[in-house]
Amino acid sequence: MNKSLISILIATFFVSTVIISCKEPSAGKDVTKTNESDTTNYLLKGKAIATETQKQLAKNLTEAITKGGTEYAIQFCNIQALPLTDSMAKQLNANIKRVSDQPRNINNSANEKEMAYIQSIKSAIEKGETANPQVTSSDNEVIGYYPIITNSLCLQCHGNKNTDITKESQNKIASLYPSDKATGYSINQLRGIWVINMKKVSKN
Ligand code: HEC
Predicted confidence (pLDDT) at residue 80 exceeds the cutoff of 80: no
Gap from CA of 109 to ligand 1 centroid (Å): 13
Mean pLDDT calculated for residue range 165-179 = 95
Question: Rounded to an integer, what distance in angstroms lies between the CA atom of residue 138 and that of residue 42?
Answer: 13
Mean pLDDT calculated for residue range 166-170 = 96
Question: Rounded to an integer, what distance in angstroms lies between the CA atom of residue 156 and that of residue 171?
Answer: 13
Mean pLDDT calculated for residue range 58-85 = 83
pLDDT tens per residue, range 133-142: 999 998 889 9
Answer yes or no: is the C-beta of 82 below 6 A from any ligand 1 atom.
Answer: no
Answer yes or no: is the C-beta of 172 below 6 A from any ligand 1 atom.
Answer: no
pLDDT at 28: 44
Predicted confidence (pLDDT) at residue 165 exceeds the cutoff of 50: yes
Gap from CA of 35 to ligand 1 centroid (Å): 35
Question: Rounded to an integer, what distance in angstroms lies between the CA atom of residue 195 and that of residue 33?
Answer: 19
Answer yes or no: is the C-beta of 153 below 6 A from any ligand 1 atom.
Answer: yes
pLDDT at 202: 66
Question: Rounded to an integer, what distance in angstroms lies between the CA atom of residue 19 and that of residue 41?
Answer: 21
Answer yes or no: is the C-beta of 54 below 6 A from any ligand 1 atom.
Answer: no
Predicted confidence (pLDDT) at residue 71 exceeds the cutoff of 60: yes
Give the alpha-carbon dihedral of 2, 65, 133, 88, to 10 degrees. -140
Mean pLDDT calculated for residue range 62-86 = 82
